[in-house]
C-alpha cells in the first residue's frame, strides 16, 4: 500500500489517536498537524503525535486530510479546502453526517469521504490520545458513491490496515442509528448527572456514588462544546429518540405505581438480552 502524507486537523483525542495508529502501522510518509489552539499545538509536538504544525496552505498539499474537529467546525472549515488538487483525499470524523454531507462544496465532493469512527472516550485534548482507539472498532463510511475511486480505495485501505470494521451507509440512516447508539446515551448521562447534582450535595456524592452511577455518568464528562454541536446537528432525531425513551420511563413509572413487580422483572429480563447481541 502506498504511503501518504497525512494532515490532521484537530489534535485532540480522535486526531491524536489516529496519528498514533498511522505511526504504529507505518502507514505514513509524514504526519503533520493543524489546530487553532496553541496549547494543543505545543502538546501534540511534545507528545510526538505530529512532526510539525503547518499552515493552511501546507495542509492543502497533503495527500490525505483528516478533519477531527467538532461537527459545526467541519462545515465552517470546508470552504477553505476548495482549492486542493483532485489527488487530495479529505475525510471527516464527525459524529453526525447528513448536514455535513449537504454542505460539502461541489468542487471537493469527489475528494470527500464522510466517515464516523464508532469509538472514543469522555476525554479530550492531545493528552487524551491513546494507542488502540481505532483497532477492532467500526467505522461508518457514508454516501461514498459520490466519491472518486482513488479516494474510496485509499480510505478503505487505510482503515483496513488499522484493523477497523468498515460499514457503508447513507448519511440520513447513519444519523438515526448514531442517535440511538450514541447521542441519546450522552443526553441521558448528562441528564443523570444534573439530576443527582440537583438532589445530592458533594459529600454524599463522594461517599455514596458506586460503580453503577460512575459507569452511567462517565460520559457526562465529555466536551460540552462538541456535544452541543452534535445535538444541534442531529436535533430532530434526538427529539424523536427522547420521546421513545420517555415512553419506556413512563412504562417503568406505571409498573412501580401499580406495584407490578413481576412485570418489572420481565421488563428487566428483556433488557438483559441486549448483551446477548453486544
- CA 209 remoteness from chain centre: 28
Residue 210 banded pLDDT, cuts 50, 70, 90: low
* Residue where the block lists cell 413512563: 250
Which tens digit of pLDDT belongs to each residue from 153-189?
Answer: 999 999 999 999 999 999 999 999 999 989 999 999 9
pLDDT for 200 beyond 70: no
| pLDDT at position 275 | 78
Which tens digit of pLDDT belongs to each residue from 67-116?
Answer: 999 889 999 999 999 999 999 999 999 999 999 999 999 999 999 999 99
Distance CA 52, CA 138 (A): 29
pLDDT for 141 beyond 80: yes
More confident residue, 6 or 211: 6
Domain with CATH 3.40.50.720 in the chain: 4-169
| pLDDT at position 212 | 73
CATH classification for the domain delimited by 174-277, as one of 2.40.50.140, 1.10.3660.10, 3.60.15.10, 3.40.50.300: 1.10.3660.10
Burial class (CB in 10 A: 0-12, 13-18, 19+), 205: middle
Residue 255 banded pLDDT, cuts 50, 70, 90: very high
| Architecture in CATH of 4-169 | 3-Layer(aba) Sandwich (3.40)
| pLDDT at position 144 | 93
pLDDT for 199 beyond 90: no
Mean pLDDT of 208-222: 73
Q: Which of 119, 183, 174, 124 is nearest to 144 (CA)?
A: 174
Query: Is 141:166 a contact under the CB 8 Å cutoff?
Result: yes
Amino acid at each position: 500500500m502506498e504511503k501518504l502524507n497525512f494532515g490532521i486537523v484537530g489534535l485532540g483525542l480522535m486526531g491524536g489517536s489516529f496519528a498514533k495508529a498511522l505511526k504504529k502501522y507505518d502507514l505514513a510518509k509524514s504526519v503533520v498537524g493543524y489546530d487553532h489552539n496553541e496549547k494543543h499545538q505545543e502538546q501534540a509536538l511534545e507528545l510526538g503525535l505530529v512532526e510539525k504544525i503547518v499552515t493552511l496552505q501546507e495542509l492543502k498539499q497533503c495527500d490525505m486530510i483528516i478533519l477531527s474537529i467538532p461537527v459545526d467546525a467541519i462545515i465552517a472549515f470546508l470552504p477553505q479546502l476548495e482549492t486542493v488538487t483532485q489527488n487530495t483525499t479529505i475525510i471527516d470524523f464527525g459524529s453526525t453526517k447528513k448536514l455535513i454531507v449537504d454542505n460539502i462544496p461541489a468542487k471537493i465532493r469527489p475528494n470527500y469521504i464522510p466517515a464516523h469512527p464508532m469509538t472514543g472516550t469522555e476525554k479530550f485534548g492531545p493528552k487524551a490520545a491513546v494507542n488502540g482507539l481505532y483497532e477492532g472498532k467500526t467505522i461508518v463510511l457514508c454516501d461514498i458513491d459520490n466519491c472518486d475511486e482513488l479516494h474510496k480505495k485509499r480510505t478503505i485501505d487505510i482503515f483496513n490496515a488499522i484493523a477497523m470494521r468498515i460499514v457503508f451507509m447513507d448519511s440520513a440512516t447513519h444519523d438515526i442509528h448514531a442517535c440511538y447508539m450514541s447521542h441519546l446515551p450522552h443526553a441521558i448521562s448528562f441528564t443523570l448527572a444534573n439530576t443527582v447534582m440537583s438532589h445530592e450535595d458533594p459529600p454524599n456524592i463522594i461517599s455514596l456514588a458506586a460503580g453503577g452511577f460512575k459507569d452511567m455518568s462517565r460520559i457526562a464528562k465529555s466536551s460540552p462544546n462538541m456535544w452541543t454541536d452534535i445535538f444541534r446537528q442531529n436535533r430532530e432525531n434526538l427529539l424523536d429518540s427522547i420521546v421513545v425513551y420517555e415512553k419506556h420511563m413512563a412504562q417503568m413509572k406505571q409498573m412501580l405505581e401499580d406495584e407490578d413487580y413481576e412485570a418489572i422483572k420481565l421488563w428487566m429480563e428483556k433488557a438483559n438480552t441486549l448483551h446477548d447481541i453486544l
